[in-house]
Structure 1
């Protein structure tokens, strides 16, 4: 069973998928292709892990820490299947990151990894976009890099009881495959991540954890159509557009194009210099 949230006759409605139809509890139905999708859940927080996939680690020529590290995307960044992803005017380095999202189903605090599955409502597809033009000023927090408006599309639906082992995850830009990985690459699986965060942060129903991306995150351009396809979860599709106005120049740090910005956006190793594995 797959659950979605859509606008049906102008009203936010929870539906479940039956083949190529979305059906509400009162029996109304609409085709999947005609539905106006909303994010399938309304989280109080969106938490994302940094490096987790082996191919991404190898791409950067670095090593994983002993335990996962995380950053926070504000809920105002939330977006949905079919929604436009905005690259602000004057910015250049908006990168896709195809991911899998864990959706919490029960209030969760201080649990063992072996018990985490009981607190998960299901899984969905995500794209953890990064606006690297702000990396020079926000590298520590990733706030604007990962938290600007529209940069957290998830969906189209939530699939309960999905076995996350051995599943293929691909990202396509204009129908060309640009990321191709498998969940077996993950150093820390979904249950571990939930239990780790819940040691000190209470997770509540609807909260979302993003679980990392495979290698080859790269910038996209306005007009590009980006799809993230996960085996058993479906396809999340979004179009890149240019924001109507540039970032205000009369306040705050401005977008930059430093060596660090370019290296990170284009797959370099800038942020991992100094923490390479020891020579063998």
Structure 2
């Protein structure tokens, strides 16, 4: 396996290769892994995400999977990177983490079978598919603001090639505490299937990203929290939550809500009937 990253090196976006504890550019310059300013490891034209895929998440919501996966789109303006700040806008309370594995496309892909799809994948990286559920009542269908608001798509730290996705753990930590503990083996539809499914009608280009779903126990985080997602063999993506200084405008559009649907999604089910207290606000 080889791990590629994109960093700011002397002010320029630069592709580098990991060599132990250092990142090496094509001209031989080296920088320590922990000293680098990271960028997303790929430059997608689109980010497509599957709604439900992990069985533990399905069981948590006491629901059933559809006969085939369903998807939503995250705009590329939501992209963020390893070490980046994730912004919870003022007047919003319910920003949830969702640790995931991201598939990165390596070459133009259209109308391929699941058996062929692996040949079109450049590699994999770690993702956190944050959701701003204050807008779930109005955007539940499109997920546009819920999942597509600025900074809500961190990817990284690197792109790893030749990674076997079978039997790998996927874990999320908040302030060092384990909060999600899943496995790729609990995915109903694997990476190759997802690529083939989307590419039936949508051309995927090099750098495009598909998010493959999150396990159970997505919960809200607060400004000041540090969230890390670790996938076996792919590394650990770290971000911190900050409060947006400008409140959501109230002179246009739907406003943040705290309906039963919002709270059920935020806390993983019918929270009113489980004795679960809503999260603290700040």
Q: TM-score, normalised by structure 2?
A: 0.95
Show structure 1 runs of 5+ residues with no match. Answer: 271-280
| 1:154 equivalent in structure 2 | 155
1:1-280 aligned at under 5 Å gives the runs 1-269=2-270
Please give the per-residue CA displacement for 1:214-271, whole angstroms capped at 9, x wherever unaligned.
000000000000000000000000000000110011111111111111111011159x
Q: Secondary structure at the match of 1:242?
A: strand
| 2:277 equivalent in structure 1 | none
Distance (Å, rounded) in 2 between the aligned partners of 1:3 and 1:163:
16
Q: Secondary structure at the match of 2:195?
A: helix
Q: Secondary structure at the match of 1:114?
A: helix
Show structure 2 runs of 5+ residues with no match. Answer: 272-282
Q: 1:106: Cα distance to partner?
A: 0.4
Q: CA RMSD in A?
A: 0.8
| 2:279 equivalent in structure 1 | none
Distance (Å, rounded) in 2 between the aligned partners of 1:31 and 1:250:
47
Q: Secondary structure at the match of 1:155?
A: strand
Report if aligned partners of 2:62, 2:269 keep a CA contact under 8 Å in 1: no
Q: Which runs of 4+ in 1 moved over 3 A?
A: none
Distance (Å, rounded) in 2 between the aligned partners of 1:259 and 1:145:
16
How many pairs does the alignment contain?
270
Please give the per-residue CA displacement for 1:93-147, whole angstroms capped at 9, x wherever unaligned.
0000000000000000000000001100000000000000000111111000000
Greater CA deviation, 251-260 or 190-199?
251-260
Q: Secondary structure at the match of 1:164?
A: coil
Distance (Å, rounded) in 1 between the aligned partners of 2:36 and 2:148:
27
Distance (Å, rounded) in 2 between the aligned partners of 1:192 and 1:238:
29
Q: Secondary structure at the match of 1:136?
A: helix
Distance (Å, rounded) in 1 between the aligned partners of 2:185 and 2:200:
24
Q: Secondary structure at the match of 1:260?
A: helix
Distance (Å, rounded) in 1 between the aligned partners of 2:270 and 2:40:
33
